[in-house]
A and B are shown apart, each in its own frame.
Chain A
């Protein structure tokens, strides 16, 4: 297998290298890729969409349809991880562990005997849980709001600087994943329960596709944001910019929720207990 694989790799690589001889030189401004389609994006982006960042305008407007499916891909991955891994109350272990909320002490209880579930000071947890570092917890607690603020900036400022829905959504998701790592998954789930995450993921992609459908309802082509001009009471070019912002927000929500959903299911093997 190793030898066969090596041969396949060698032949494929040789063929690919053989073809590179005809490629334009690296960084050649006159290469076909740079002169045929793309100049319009750079030269007209400001005039047609009023978005100076050409990557954002191409991503969310000229080729906005691709991006809608890009969001759908990540949504599909989120549901896939959920569907594959999530366990619903099955396979619960014989002994349960509880934590005393005030002191952080852990107790182990046999099932169906003197379960402290009625008591409010205890919460259920899993056996692999280890006490966390105080410094780490505190530091992360301080950091998370700033990370989230930065994420919102990245989403909102995507028109003028590198950024946008995907990047901002990932940062937003990372902040909550950091919470789950530094504290534990239960406290992250208390902030945003699983059900809310699933709803947000569906909502985010629906905002994108719904914006497209709204354009259709307004009598224009699918995803033609210029149709929203009447709705926002602005001129069509400005409407494109607003449409782009709307879908970026949708993308941000969907990516954030999906990232957390994937992390929760992967890290706890679908049990959604304490994680890691």
Chain B
């Protein structure tokens, strides 16, 4: 029992991200409404961001801005600061996610203008008829 609890405490962050990601993936695959699919896609991307950010965490460390003002802190130790690299990578991924979201919404607007609906089955019905 103790062991299981230890595993849960040590790894629960990964499980949360996976759960979130699967919710998003399910939305993309199975939802009928195009905007809901777009929302699912966003959740999916956000989950990955969560994963990366959580791997940059170090216990007992602070944000990676080096204290330098008064010179009284001695040499800079990497263990005192969390890992900046995942944060940088995720800044990029966030921007990419926003851009994809923008383009996807623009496409959804275009689809809505053409078919007057955002339900995928109704659109496919219209295409079949024409």
> Is there direct touching of A and B in the complex, by C-beta distance under 8 Å?
yes
Which A residues are closer than 8 A to B by beta carbons?
1-2, 4-6, 8-10, 12-13, 16-17, 20-21, 23, 25-29, 31, 33-35, 37-39, 41-43, 45-46, 52-55, 58-59, 63, 66-67, 70-71, 73-74, 76-78, 80-81, 84-85, 160-162, 166, 262, 265-266, 269-270
List the B residue with the shortest CB-CB distance to A24. B55
Q: Assess whether B57 is in contact with A266, with CB atoms less than 8 Å apart.
A: no
Number of B residues near A (Cβ < 8 Å) is 56
Residues of B contacting A266 in the complex (Cβ-Cβ under 8 angstroms): 102, 105-106, 109
Q: Tally the A-B contacts, defined by beta carbons under 8 Å.
A: 164
CB neighbours (8 Å) of B102 from chain A are: 77-78, 80-81, 262, 266
The one of A26, A42, A270 that contacts B11, using a Cβ cutoff of 8 Å? A26
CA distance A79 to B126 in the complex (A): 30
Nearest residue, chain A, Cβ from B32: A1
* Extra pairs beyond A26-B11, A27-B57 (5, CB < 8 Å): A25-B11, A26-B57, A35-B78, A54-B64, A77-B103
**Which of B63, B78, B89, B106 has a CB less than 8 Å from the CB of A84?**
B106
Residues of the A chain whose Cβ atoms lie less than 8 Å from the Cβ of B76: 42-43, 46
Tell me how far the C-beta of B120 lies from the nearest C-beta in chain A, rounded to whole angstroms: 10
Judging by beta carbons under 8 Å apart, are A41 and B99 in contact? no
Chain B residue nearest to A58 in the complex (CB): B88
Query: How far, in Å, is B44 (CB) from chain A's closest CB?
Result: 11
Q: Report chain A residues within 8 Å CB of B109.
A: 85, 266, 269-270
Please determine whether B91 and A269 come into contact, CB atoms closer than 8 angstroms.
no
A-B contact pairs, 30 of them (CB 8 A): A4-B29, A6-B30, A10-B22, A13-B21, A16-B18, A21-B11, A23-B14, A26-B54, A29-B60, A29-B79, A41-B64, A53-B66, A54-B64, A54-B65, A55-B88, A58-B84, A66-B92, A67-B92, A70-B92, A70-B95, A70-B96, A76-B99, A77-B99, A77-B103, A78-B102, A80-B102, A81-B106, A84-B107, A266-B109, A269-B109
Please tell me if the beta carbons of B22 and A55 are within 8 angstroms of each other in the complex.
no
What is B's interface to A at a CB cutoff of 8 Å? 10-15, 18-19, 21-22, 25-26, 29-30, 54-61, 63-68, 75-79, 81, 83-89, 91-92, 95-96, 98-100, 102-103, 105-107, 109-110, 113
For residue A57, which residue of chain B has the nearest CB?
B84
Q: Which of A29, A80, A162 contacts B103 (CB 8 A)?
A: A80
**Residue numbers in A under 8 Å from B87 (CB-CB):** 55
Q: Is A38 within 8 A of B84, CB to CB? A: yes
- Contact of B13 (CB < 8 Å), options: A13, A26, A161: A26
Pair A6/B66 contact, Cβ less than 8 Å: no
Q: Is the CB of A84 within 8 A of B110?
A: yes
Q: Compute how far the CA of A13 lies from the CA of B14 in the bound complex, rounded to whole angstroms.
A: 11
**Most chain A CB atoms below 10 A, which of B10, B15, B113:** B10
Q: Which residues of A contact B92 (CB under 8 A)?
A: 66-67, 70
Q: How far is the CA of A63 from the CA of B56 in the complex (A)?
A: 17
